[in-house]
Structures are given as C-alpha cells and as structure tokens.
Structure 1
Amino acid sequence: MNSNSKQPLVFLVLGMAGIVAAVVFNEWTIAAWLSYGGSLRLFDRVAIWMVDFILVGGGVMLIRKRRAIRMGKAEFLLLCGTLGILLVGSEGAARILDRAHGNDFLQNKQRAERGIIPFRMFGPDFYAMEDGMRYIVGRHGEKFPFEKKEGVFRIVAVGGSTTQNLVDGMHYPLRLQELLSEMYPGRTIEVINTGNSAYATPHLIVLLSLDVLSWDPDLIIASENINDLVAAYFPDFALDYSNKYTHETFLPQRSFTEALFGWSRLYWVIVSRMEALSYRMLEARDTVYTRRSYGNEPPPEAKAVFRRNWETFVDIARARDIPVILASQPLEPSEHYWNLHMRYKKYNTVAVYPLHEEFLLHHATFNATIKEVAHEKGVFFVDNAAVFAGERTLFSDFVHYTRAGIEELANQYATFIDRHHIINHEL
C-alpha cells in the first residue's frame, strides 16, 4: 500500500466488513447452518458469540484507528497472511463441525459431479466389487451378496425419499429386517433399501426390470405417490414425466466455481446460505411458489399414467412370480408441514401447485389408485395412510418420517408379513 491517503478508506471498509461478517454472515449464515432449522446447541452458540466478539471488536478498532494506522508492504503482507490463515481455519472448522453434526461435506462435491445414470437418470450405484465378487449395496451402504445364499429370504424395498428416509442411522427396511429376524429366528432375512429421493414410478419400473429381478427377491415392497403427483403440476405434462425430470434440479449442473472450489466445505456452506437468501427474497415478494385451482380431482391424464405405471410394475414382478406389497403413502395434512418440505424447491418457479385442500384430495386419489391396482392385480396392499392418520409425531415434514414414523412403518410391514404367512418359519 503506497498511497497513505487511501489507507483510512481501506481500513474503514475492512472494519465495516468485519462488523457485517459478524452480524450477517456469522449470525445468520453460520448460525442458521449449524442449527439445521432448530435451536443452536450451547457449545455452538458460545463459539459463534466468540467469533462475533472478535469480528465486531476488530471492525470497531479498525474504524476508530483508521487514520492512525500506517501500513507498509510488510504489514500488508502480514494482513494477507492473516486473512489466509483465517480462511484455512474456517475451512477446518466447517469440516469438523459438519462431521460433528453427522454430515459429510464430500457429499456436496459428489452430488455436483454426478453423471447421468443410464435409464434411471440419477441415483446411487447399487453394486460393489470385493475380492472378485459382486455385492448389492443398499441405499445406506449395507452390502448383500449378489448371489442369494440358500435359506435367505430376500425383500427389496423400492420407492422415493420416503423409502430412503434415514433418521439417527435407521431406515424402515433396516428396522424391518431386524423385526423379521426376531420373528423368524430360523430364517436369514435380508431387506434391501433401494429408495432414492425424487424417484417416481418410471424409475421403479426401470430399477425392477434392470436390477431387482436379477437379485432373486422373495418379496418386493413398493410405495410411491408424491413424486408422480408433482409431475402433474409441471407445465406440458408428458407421459414419461420428462416435463418434470428435464428440470435442472434433476440433471448435473456443474459450474466453474464448483469445479474450482467444490472441494471446500466452506464453499458449500456459503452456497447453501446464498440459496436461502434467494428464497428469503422470494418470500419478501410472496412468490415462493404459485397455486391455482385444479379442482378436487388430479389431472385425468396424470392419474391414468400413474395407474398404468403401477400396473406395469406389478405385471413385471408377477411374470417372475414375485410377491408384491403395494402400499399407500402417509401424509401430514397441514400446510405448515407442506411448507417444511416444499417451500424451497428449486423447481417452484416452474411448477404450479393446486390449492392445499385440493392437493390433499389429489394425493388421496393417487393412494386410492394404488389400492385399486393392488386389488385388481391380486397383490398385497398395506394402507399406511390410514394407519398413520396424519399423526404429527410420526412426520418430520408432510411426507417424511421421524424416528417414530420409521418404527411405525417397519412394524406395519412386519405385522402384515407375519399375518399373511409370507415367510415360512422353517425351510
């Protein structure tokens, strides 16, 4: 810094930046990130206050002393080095706190770099090779031999995020496996979770045809509703849901900044907060999402396609004599719980939703379609929607489950399987 006349202005800007960083970035960005929508833990709160004190104190000092401070080349390099150390420390703290809160910053990078999966478009790789042997990998990392061993009763659970749904290390297929293993101690039970966020019935048909059939399942449990229903609210409805699944939300979108900084957890924290800021701006304009009246029935073409897809799914399984349980999808009916999940979808600028009471009727109609297909095709049906009955303690938002909800779901399936003697106690 050679021009002393400019230094007071520089320190004024730096001081204001420190205060803004404390009040806006640290208090809103970092605190909101750590809270994950809830209240901050005491340790996190104290740590953030300490950073606030340093940033605000440093900012005030720079502003008050801006005319007295003189910075030569050595001091300028020291300042740059200090800022570099702060960035490195912030990155390390972000990674440590992220892991402490049960997350993994690498998932953001992997998600950004995902490629198109043939036929399924997106989702996990369900296979792994170890010592020259192929294994099936469940949605949360559980491994199962590709070649089913003698005496094993293998169940495959398919669906969207409500099947994938993981809380405190537990998901319903894993809990179902535990329950059935207790109920049938003479049998080896496997329950493979293939659920994936945003999967609709076309994904399930492809997954069944190209993967699950080769796993030699003894039973398939299938439940999906909302992802199909939402496709009806995108413009220009298509029979294969391409009107929905060609949106950028579901396709790889890698930017230059992601390629450059995607390794950084701090980068992903900032990105998530910038997205949140954009949503807050939409809220200020009351344009988070759009609703209009569709009537009490879902669009007829969407309902017909939904029925067609479930009929196709069942026909494929029955052609191999594989028993199928179709299940309705439970729902917490309040608009508040709808907002917990749907309010901040990237595609809300495109989709036009029905009035809330109409949406509830549409969802119920799709559940009724699942029941009709099950009865017409002669397969099992579990009415989870009736059992859950909108009980709020079972839901984390309008369709996803709490730990208690996962337990309830697994219990329902275990009881149903036992009541209908789908598994023999002995071979």
Structure 2
Amino acid sequence: MQKTEKIQVDTLTEITRTENRGESIERWVANVSVAIIACILVFFLLEGVFRATGVGELPEQQYRFVKHSTHNPFLIFGPNINKTVQQEQGGATYWNAQGFRTQENIPFEKEPDEYRIIALGGSSTETTYNQANEHYCGELNKNFENNTIVGKKLRCLNAAKAGYSTAQTLIRLQFDLLAFQPDMITVMNNINDLNVNFFPNHGNRTNYAEKYLAEVFADSPEFTNMPLLRESRVLIAGYRGVRQVQRTLRKWIRMEEKGEPLIVFTNETIPLRLKEQFRRNLKSIVAVGKTHNIMVVLMTEPFLADQKKFEIGFGHEDYNKEILYPELPEFTRMLEEYNQVIEDVATEENVPFIDMYTFMGQNQSYFIDSAHYTKEGEEQFGKIYSERLKNTVTNTLKNIENKKSRGNNKGDNNRR
C-alpha cells in the first residue's frame, strides 16, 4: 500500500515538474518573442528617426577607395564639405559646399575690384588646432578688410585640407579651383610629402601610393559587398560607431602599453627616395599657375624642433603602426632639405618665395606642437603673410598698370 502511494506521489511530482518545465519554456519563448518584437519596433523607430535627421546617410554614389567625400572623383579623400566644427574659445569653423573654409559659397566670377588669393596646403594651412578659429589666410582678410592695394581688395580663400601633399594640391588646383579665377595661389606643402618616405616601399612607386592607399586614408566604402545592409541607416550608423570605438581603443592601447611609444624611432638612415617627385609636383603646380596667368607663391613650412611637441604633434597619427620615424635631429634635417627644394624651385621658376620656416623660427609660443600654430602663432604668421603678399601684389599690379600705360602711349603715338 505504502509502495503504491509512493509511486503515485513520485508520478505526481514528475508530472508537476514536467508542467513547470513546460511553463518555464513557454514563459521563456514568450519573453524572447516580446524582446524580439520590441527590438524590431525600436529598430524601425530608430530607422525612421535616422532617416528624418540624416544620420547614417551615404553619398548618392561612392567610388572604391573614396572615404571622405565624392566632391572630386580624382581625390582619394576630398576636402571638407558643408562641415561645421565648434571652437573651444568660441565661434565655429565652417566649410562651404565648395570645400573652402568659409560659410558662404564663392561665385566663380570675381568683382572687378577683387584680387583673389587661394591658400593651399595641409593641416598647417587649414588648421583648427588653436580652437580660436584663427588661420593665416583669415588673418590676411582681417588685415585688409578696410584697405585696398592699387585699387584692389585682397581676399584670401582657404582651400587647404589636413593630410594633403603636393599631389592632392595639384589635383585640387587643376580640377576644382581654376574655375574660381584666382589671381594668386600660395602653396605650403612639406611634411605630408616628406613622411611618405617613411612608409614601407613595397612597389617602388613614386605616386605616394604607399601612404595614401593605407587604410587610414583609403578606407573602402561601408557595406560595399552588402547592398541590403546599405539601405539601413541604423546599421550604417552602428557600423561607423563601432569603427570609431575600435580606432579610439587602438589609440588608448598604444598609449597604455609600457615600452611602446606612440612614435617608433629608428637610427637607420631613411632615404628620401621621393624628393625628386616632390620637386616635380611643385614645378607642375607652378606650370599650371603660369598657364592660367596665376601668380604662384611658394612657402617653406615652419617646424619646431622640440622633442615633446614633436611627439604631441605626430603621436596621434593612425598610420604610426605602419612606419618608423627618424630621430628628431634627422627629421629636422630632412624637413630642411625639403624646404630647400621649395626655395630652389621658386628660384628656378622665378616665382615669389616666402621663407616662413625662418620667419617663424623656434619660438615656443607660436606652436601648439611641432607643426601647428597657437592663436599667437597664427597672428604672427598672418602678419608676415600679409606683409609679404602686399609687397608682391603691389609690384604686380603696378607693373600691369605701367604696361597698360605704355601700351596706351604707344597707341597715341601711332595715331599721331
């Protein structure tokens, strides 16, 4: 009897466990289903919000290897387009739809009394580093806001882009900027050309590919091989967020790892195998200018030879894991050698030259790091830049007036 009752109790217990297990599974399935439905609803809600606000939007057409913009199909990464950067010391920096560092769009046709100058170069020209919205091109505009030179108003347009070398400057000038009919262009490229020599030379190429086809510059477009995923703003935004987190973590890891500096130096000699390509690029820029009756002004690039500021300036570069840097004295010697090429080309081509490297000197107060300028540095650079260009423009315009005057006098004599 007791045995029978025990069997019945065990059976009831097993049935209860089975029922409880079944109920637990049902609850689990229900909870998972609710979670999935909630995720789907949130996904579509975010999709709607992202589409309404433009988050995760892709350009209408993306080319292979084009990263920053499709403004110019011949540039791996284009200029900043319709971009705003808030400055810590107040105000904001704007780039317009044409890639100029200004808020308003620039007409192709100039006013009759405008003398148009376009400043070309890399981050030292484009610059937002001083967080005060100061750049030497803008300083010239302030210096000549209420002044004219031989009846002309000087206006400087900043068309520089961080990371640009003479190669990008040449392409941007030829395909984007000639249409704006500049009277003068100023060119300050050195460091971005120089450090191409530090990249591994895999293919013995002279077109700067070893640097500018690196992932940091030539990242392939998002979801290139996943067309369905390209249609979701949420997935695109998430992908970009993950990539940014990865980049940030890599920087932190490099900073935290003991014994591994942000910059890896070498005592081995690094040959300047691309120096002649740098020279050719400069000559080509001058040739384009002369062909289109544009005054070309070449400038050396300032550099502060300070170890701490050198590491601050170059330590953040994402491509540092790919390259070896020469020690600071050797780097300085190389930079001066490239600056000498700039001066030589200016002499050979008989174009104006400004030795900004010498003028800015080694004044610590002018530099945030080795290559970018403080507010005081930008003001000093802008002062020198304005004075030198004023002299050049004055002489040029007076020569033009004298030629016109001689031509008119010759015509009068012929009529007599």
The 8 Å contact of residues 56 and 237 in structure 2, kept in 1 or not, is answered as: no
Correspondence list, 1:10-409, <5 A: 114-115=68-69, 117-124=72-79, 136-166=98-128, 167-184=131-148, 186-236=151-201, 238-253=205-220, 260=235, 262=237, 270=245, 273-281=248-256, 283-286=257-260, 288-295=262-269, 299-409=271-381
Q: Deviations over 1:70-107 (max 9, x none)?
A: xxx9xx9xxx9xxx9xxxxxxxxxxxxxxxxxxxxx89
Letter of the aligned partner of 2:155 in structure 1?
E
Query: 1:290 Cα deviation (Å)?
Result: 2.6
Secondary structure (helix, strand or coil) at the match of 2:205 reads coil
Letter of the aligned partner of 1:239 in structure 2?
T
Letter of the aligned partner of 1:240 in structure 2?
N
- Please give the alpha-carbon distance, in whole angstroms, between the structure 1 residues aligned to 2:314 and 2:82: 32
Secondary structure (helix, strand or coil) at the match of 1:336 reads helix
The 8 Å contact of residues 137 and 144 in structure 1, kept in 2 or not, is answered as: no
Unaligned runs of 5+ in 2: 1-27, 40-54, 60-65, 84-95, 224-228, 402-416
The 8 Å contact of residues 255 and 261 in structure 2, kept in 1 or not, is answered as: no
- Please give the alpha-carbon distance, in whole angstroms, between the structure 2 residues aligned to 1:398 and 1:108: 36
Unaligned runs of 5+ in 1: 1-72, 85-105, 129-133
Identical-residue share of aligned pairs (%) = 25
Secondary structure (helix, strand or coil) at the match of 1:284 reads coil
The 8 Å contact of residues 300 and 343 in structure 2, kept in 1 or not, is answered as: yes
- Please give the alpha-carbon distance, in whole angstroms, between the structure 1 residues aligned to 2:76 and 2:367: 29
- Please give the alpha-carbon distance, in whole angstroms, between the structure 2 residues aligned to 1:301 and 1:265: 36
Query: 1:126 Cα deviation (Å)?
Result: 6.5
Q: State the structure with more CA Rg.
A: 2
Cα RMSD (Å) of the superposition?
3.7
Normalised TM-score (structure 1): 0.66
Q: Deviations over 1:248-284 (max 9, x none)?
A: 0102356679963737998788556423322224x42
The 8 Å contact of residues 302 and 357 in structure 2, kept in 1 or not, is answered as: yes
**Aligned CA distance change for structure 1 residues 339 and 388 (closer, same or farther; 3 Å):** same
Q: Deviations over 1:330-375 (max 9, x none)?
A: 0011111111121132211211211221111000100111011001
Query: 1:122 Cα deviation (Å)?
Result: 0.7
The 8 Å contact of residues 138 and 193 in structure 1, kept in 2 or not, is answered as: yes
The 8 Å contact of residues 175 and 410 in structure 1, kept in 2 or not, is answered as: yes
Secondary structure (helix, strand or coil) at the match of 1:314 reads helix
Secondary structure (helix, strand or coil) at the match of 1:189 reads strand
Q: Deviations over 1:6-52 (max 9, x none)?
A: xxxxxxxxxxxxxxxxxxxxxxxxxxxxxxxxxxxxxxxxxxxxxxx
Runs of 4 or more consecutive aligned structure 1 residues displaced over 4 Å after TM superposition: 106-110, 125-128, 134-137, 253-259, 263-273, 422-427
- Please give the alpha-carbon distance, in whole angstroms, between the structure 1 residues aligned to 2:192 and 2:67: 23
**Aligned CA distance change for structure 1 residues 240 and 395 (closer, same or farther; 3 Å):** same
Query: How many residues matched?
Result: 322
Moved more, 199-208 or 160-169: 160-169
Normalised TM-score (structure 2): 0.68
- Please give the alpha-carbon distance, in whole angstroms, between the structure 1 residues aligned to 2:57 and 2:314: 21
